[in-house]
Amino acid sequence: MSLLRYGARFLQGKGKACQVILVPRRWKKTKKKWHVPHTQRKMEPSFNALKHFDDNYRHQFGDAWPSIRLGLLSSQKYGALINNYCLVEETEELMKKLGAKDFVQPVAEELEKMNIQDMMEEDSSISDSEHTDLDSNQVLEDSSSLFQEHTDINRIDSENLTRQETMFADKQSSLEEQYIVAPGYEAKMEFLLSSDAIRNTELNTSVVPETEIKRIQKPLSISKHLRCFIPEDINTARFPASKMDSHGVFLQYYAMDAASVLPVIALGISPGDVVLDMCAAPGGKSLAITQTMFIGGLVANEPESSRRRRLKSVLRSYIGFDESNLDVRITAEDGCEWGTMEPDTYDKVLVDVPCTTDRLSASNNTNSIFAVNRTNERWQLPKLQSDLLCAGLQAVKPGGDVIYSTCSLSNQQNDAVVESALYQCQTDLNIEVAVVDLSPLTQCLGHIFHFSDNIRHGQLVLPNLKNNFGPMYFCKLHRVA
C-alpha cells in the first residue's frame, strides 16, 4: 500500500526512530495541530423547507408561529367527503359508528338563517317607507275618484320601485370598502420568496401606481347534498380506507383535509352552473364539486400526465367517469392560456394553484419543491399563480365568481397574488373585479377551523393541535364586468 496515497507525513524526532503518520490529503494543518474537518451532512428538501418557513413565517405570524409550526409538523387531521353516488344512508351509519359528524350542513342552515334575516331587514325597511307614502295618498272622497286613485297607486308603485333601487344601490355602496394596493408584485415576488427579502430595506412599493380593490358582500348558499364528516375525537386523525358500498359499484367516501372543502363551499355553486376546475389534480375538489349535485357541467383541467391519471382514477372510482361522459370533461391544457381559449364562458371557476404545499414540504423529501434543483421553479411560483388567476377571471362570465386557493401559509403566494392579478385585470385586461367578503362563512366555522386574523383579502386556515387542518388559503372574487 502506497504511503503517498494517504499523504504520508514523516516526523523525525531527536534520538528517536522515524515515525510515519498517515493523514488524509483533505486535512488542513493549522499552526502546529492537525484538524479533522466536520462532515457536512446533505441538506434534505424538508430541512430546506423548514429553514425557509422559519426565516419567513416568524416575521409574518410573529408569536403565533411556534404553535403553527408545531401543528404543521404534527399529524394532519382528515375529513370524509360523502359520495352521493352510492348508498348514502349506509355511509352515514358508518360515520356514526366511527364517531364522526358532518360539519357542512349545520353551516348551510346557519348561513340560510343569516340570509333570511338580511332579507327580512331589507323588506322591513322597504315596507316602512311604503306604509308612510300610502297613508298620505289614500284619501278617497267618492266613487268618481276611482280613476284618480288608480293613477295615484301606479305613481306610488313607480316611486317605490325607484326608491328600492336607490336603497339597494346605497346599501351596496355602503358595503364596499376601498383598499389601496401597491401592485407590481410580478417583478418582485420571486425575490420575496427568499428569506433575504425580510431584511432588505430597498423594497419600496410606494413608487408603484396605486389601484383600488372593492370589497363587497354577497349571500352564500350551500348545496344540501354536500357533506363532509370530521371525527369528534380530537385524537382521531385518519379514517379507515374507503370501501365499496353494498352495491359494490362506488367507494363510500373520499378522505381529504376537511379545509380543502372550504374553497368549494365558498364557490357557492347553484343548480345548472357550468364549472371550471383549472388545476384539478389530484381530484378532491373536483369530486366535491360533483357532490353538490348541482353542476350543469364540469371541466377538470390538469396538464401534467401523471397527475391527470390520478384525477381520472379518483373520478372513475367515485362517480363512474368515462371519456364519453358529457357532464364531466377532463382536459390537459395550459391553464394560463384558458382566458384566451374560452373567455366569458363559465359560471364558476376554481383556481387551486400549484404552491409550496407547506405541510407536505415540511415532512416529505420526494419530488419536493424545496429540492435544490427546483429552486428556480419555486421562485417562479407567484408569477405562475398570478397568471393562472388572471386566466380564471377571463374565463368566468361577467357576474360569475372565481375562487383562488393554495395550501400555503405564504403571503406572497396568497394575498399578494390576488393583488397582482387584480391590478393586471384592471390595467391590461379591462376586467372589473371585486373581492367578496367571506367573514359570514368563517364565523360559522370558527369552532372547527382556526382562521388567521391578519389576512387582508381572503381567509387562511392555520394548522393547530386541537383541529389540525390546513393550511388552506381561499379568496372569492366576483367579476363585475
Mean pLDDT, to the nearest integer, of 408-413?
A: 97
Percent share of the chain, pLDDT over 90:
65
Mean pLDDT of 372-389: 95
Measured between alpha carbons, how far is residue 221 from residues 116, 268, 326, 392, 472 in Å? 11, 6, 26, 22, 21
Q: Which of 25, 79, 426, 389 is nearest to 260 (CA)?
A: 79
Q: Which residues contact 447 (CB under 8 A, 6 or more apart)?
A: none
Contact 216, 478 (CB under 8 A): yes
Q: pLDDT at residue 108 above 60?
A: yes
Q: Which of 228, 355, 390, 407 is catalytic?
A: 407
Asked whether the predicted pLDDT for residue 460 surpasses 70, the reply is yes
Structure confidence at residue 20 (pLDDT): 52
How do beta strands 459-461 and 433-436 pair? unpaired
- CA–CA gap between residue 189 and residue 191 (Å, rounded): 5
pLDDT of the residue at 197: 45
Asked if pLDDT for residue 117 goes beyond 50, the answer is yes
What's the pLDDT tens digit per position in 133-145? 545 444 334 444 4
Give the residue from 455, 215, 58, 447 showing the smallest Cα distance to 472. Answer: 455
Quote the CA–CA distance of 243 and 252 in Å, as a whole number: 6
| Helical residues (DSSP H) of 37-145, grouped into ranges | 45-61, 65-73, 88-97, 104-135
C-alpha to C-alpha distance for 170 and 116, rounded to whole angstroms: 20
Q: What is the pLDDT of residue 164?
A: 43
- Does the pLDDT at position 288 exceed 90? yes
pLDDT surpasses 60 at 188: no
Q: How far apart are CA 476 and CA 478, in angstroms?
A: 7
Question: Could you tell me if 343 and 395 are in contact, meaning their C-beta atoms sit under 8 angstroms apart?
Answer: yes
pLDDT-based confidence at 79, cuts 50/70/90?
Answer: very high
Beta carbons of 245 and 221 less than 8 angstroms apart: no
Q: Please measure the distance between the N-terminal and C-terminal CA atoms of the chain and give it in whole angstroms.
A: 82
pLDDT digits (tens, 9 = 90+) for 418-449: 999 999 999 999 999 999 999 999 999 999 99
DSSP secondary structure letter of residue 420: H
pTM: 0.78
How high is the pLDDT of residue 33?
Answer: 52
- Residue 9 three-state SS: strand
pLDDT at 414 over 80: yes
Mean pLDDT of the chain: 81
Residue 177 CA: distances (Å) to CA of 212, 216, 382, 429, 434:
9, 7, 26, 23, 10
351 Ramachandran zone, left/alpha/beta (phi>0; psi -120 to 50): beta
User: Burial, 80: exposed, middle or buried (Cβ in 10 Å; 0-12, 13-18, 19+)?
Assistant: buried
pLDDT in tens, 8-41: 444 445 444 555 555 555 545 555 555 555 544 4
Residue 93 has pLDDT above 80, yes or no: yes
Residues 157-185: what's their mean pLDDT? 41
Could you report the per-residue pLDDT of 35-77, keeping only the tens digit for each?
A: 555 544 467 999 999 999 999 999 999 999 999 999 999 999 9
Cβ count near 464 (within 10 Å): 19
* Residue type at 114 in one-letter notation: M
Please tell me the CATH code under which domain 62-113+178-479 is placed.
3.40.50.150
CA 231 to chain centre: 23
Mean pLDDT (whole number) for 183-207: 41
pLDDT band at 185 (very low <50, low <70, confident <90, very high): very low
Q: Could you give the angle at which helices 45-61 and 65-73 cross, rounded to 10 degrees?
A: 150
Residue 151 is predicted with a pLDDT of 45
Residue 311 half-sphere exposure, CB side, CA atoms within 13 Å? Answer: 25
| Closest CA relative to residue 448, chosen from 413, 472, 414, 415 | 472
* pLDDT at residue 166, rounded to an integer: 46
CA distance 347 to 271: 11
Q: Identify the H or E element spanning 102.
A: strand 100-102
Active site residue 407: yes
What are the extents of the domains in the chain? Answer: 62-113+178-479
Q: How far apart are CA 288 and CA 81, in angstroms?
A: 7
Whether 170 has a pLDDT exceeding 80, the answer reads no
Mean pLDDT across 93-99: 94
- pLDDT tens-digit map of 292-321: 999 999 999 999 999 999 999 999 999 998
Interval 317-360: pLDDT, tens: 999 988 777 789 999 999 999 999 999 999 999 999 999 999 99
Among 45-54, 96-105, 234-243, the least confident range: 234-243
Q: Burial, 379: exposed, middle or buried (Cβ in 10 Å; 0-12, 13-18, 19+)?
A: middle
Looking at residue 60, its pLDDT comes to 95
